[in-house]
């Protein structure tokens, strides 16, 4: 099921965009960031992983006033996100930054034995 979620960042607080629900895997295939403010801002987009380390898509990426970022730039590519992990974002300064993500939520497969003989989902 394709799903799109957006948030508007007006402060520097880390903001949850979407948590992958239990029983699903997210196939994240689009990110759109638009700086609607009158000044340049830095944006960080990451997957809050348990356990750490987090996976950063952008770390303090500069976005000019009235400009945007579209990811992936060539229009292809997928980031697979397991259940329970969360896509988060924050701006470097207060402003008006719109963040939109689109992903395909698919049912998580049953547990299987991985190549290294550990359980994986």
Q: Examine residue 57 and say whether the peptide bond preceding it is cis (omega within 30 degrees of 0).
A: no
Neighbours of 109 (CB within 10 A): 9
Q: Following CA atoms 60, 63, 68, 69 in sequence, which dihedral angle do they give, to the nearest 10 degrees?
A: -30
Q: Give residue 108's region: left, alpha or beta (phi > 0; psi -120 to 50).
A: beta
pLDDT digits (tens, 9 = 90+) for 61-109: 999 999 999 988 666 789 999 999 999 999 999 999 999 999 999 998 7
Nearest to 17 by CA among 80, 115, 103, 96: 103
Give me the domain span that covers residue 51: 2-120
Task: Kindly report the pTM of this predicted structure.
Answer: 0.86
Contact predicate 119/111, CB 8 Å? yes
Contacts of 72 (CB under 8 A, 6+ apart): 29, 30
pLDDT digit string, tens, across residues 7-48:
999 999 999 999 999 999 999 999 999 999 999 999 999 999
CATH number at residue 77: 2.60.120.340
The domain tally of the chain equals 1
């Amino acid at each position: 099921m394709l799903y799109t979620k957006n948030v508007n960042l007006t402060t520097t607080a880390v903001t949850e965009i979407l948590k992958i629900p239990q029983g699903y895997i997210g196939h994240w295939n689009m990110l759109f960031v638009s700086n609607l403010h009158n000044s340049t801002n830095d944006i960080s987009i990451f997957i809050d992983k348990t356990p750490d380390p987090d996976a950063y898509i952008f770390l303090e990426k500069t976005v000019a006033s009235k400009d945007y970022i579209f990811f992936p730039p060539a229009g292809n590519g997928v980031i697979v996100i397991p259940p329970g992990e969360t896509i988060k974002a924050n701006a470097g300064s207060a402003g008006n930054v719109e963040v939109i993500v689109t992903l395909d939520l698919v049912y998580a497969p049953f547990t299987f034995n991985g190549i290294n003989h550990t359980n994986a989902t």
